[in-house]
Amino acid sequence: EVSEMSERSKHNVAHGLAWSYYTGYLKIVLPRVKKSMEEFSRANPNLLACRETWKLHILVPLSCDIYDDLEKVDSNIQYLTDLTETTLTRAGTRKRVYKQTLYRIRDEDNKVWHCPVEFATPLQSLYAMSQDECAAFSREDRLEQAKLFYRTLEEILKGSKECTGTYRLIAYEEPEEAETHFLSREILWHLWQQCHEEYAIHEDNHPHTPSTTLNSTELNLQISASDLPQPLRSDCF
């Protein structure tokens, strides 16, 4: 009965996607990110000045609208290079390749920042489900599951010792009216914060938080505890 209720309310969709994303991808690539950044930095010593940003920046749009080409979305984001590949044999696929892309991001003062960026790909599944009649998955369901996905993934990564200090989750809501550089501003704010977070409280000249950026506290306020996915018990069978 508990399993059927969870399936009907779709509580386990985001929970499963977050765990799959972690065990099947992030747990593999995140521990290797800093090594790849260090290799790139040795070859390009003048580009990666702030070590605090040597993390994989994972974009989590609550609309689940994911873009394949970041350069077409925002001209201030430009492809720079691919970081060192990780090749593994997994699930019958020989030499499966995992790699991250390093981008050059330009701010309003024409200063250039560099960091690896990618979208949380499981959100594509949530978006596809909301477009498929067979899934009976509404836009409201999609938004709720996107929030749950973010919170679940955040908790998983916080508990992962091997992933500590290797990632930055960027959850945001897209503005109602199209903005040319909204995505680069979201990323830049997080880059700036990482480089200055030890001193941000004492400074008055730091940029304001973008209105579309969300933190876990805001997401906690938007989701009641009863909406969280609950573990299914198997000890009584």
Contact between 172 and 61 under an 8 Å Cβ cutoff? The reply is: yes
Task: Among 85-89, 157-161, 174-178, 209-213, name the most confident range.
Answer: 157-161
If one compares 36 and 220, the residue with the highest pLDDT of the two is 36
Q: Which of 7, 50, 58 is nearest to 163 (CA)?
A: 58
Residues 6+ apart with CB under 8 A from 105: 76, 77, 78, 112, 113, 114, 115, 117, 184, 187, 188, 191
DSSP-assigned beta bridge partners for residue 103: 79, 115
Strand pairing of 93-98 and 86-90?
Answer: antiparallel
Has residue 226 been placed in a domain? no
What CATH number is attached to the domain comprising 125?
Answer: 3.40.50.12100
CA distance 206 to 9: 42
Has residue 68 been placed in a domain? yes
Contact between 98 and 25 under an 8 Å Cβ cutoff? The reply is: yes
Copy the structure tokens of residue 163. Answer: 């992933």
Has residue 209 been placed in a domain? no
Has residue 60 been placed in a domain? yes
Has residue 177 been placed in a domain? yes
Contact between 163 and 32 under an 8 Å Cβ cutoff? The reply is: no
CA-based radius of gyration for the chain: 19
Has residue 221 been placed in a domain? no
Has residue 49 been placed in a domain? yes
Has residue 227 been placed in a domain? no
Amino acid, single-letter form, for residue 232: L
Question: What residues make up the domain containing 170?
Answer: 9-202
For 64-74, b/e burial (b = at least 16 CB within 10 A) is bebeeebeeeb
Residue 46's pLDDT band, with cuts at 50, 70 and 90, is confident
The DSSP letter of residue 51 is G
What total of structural domains would you count in the chain?
Answer: 1
pLDDT at 229: 45
pLDDT at 216: 58
Residue 49 has pLDDT above 60, yes or no: yes
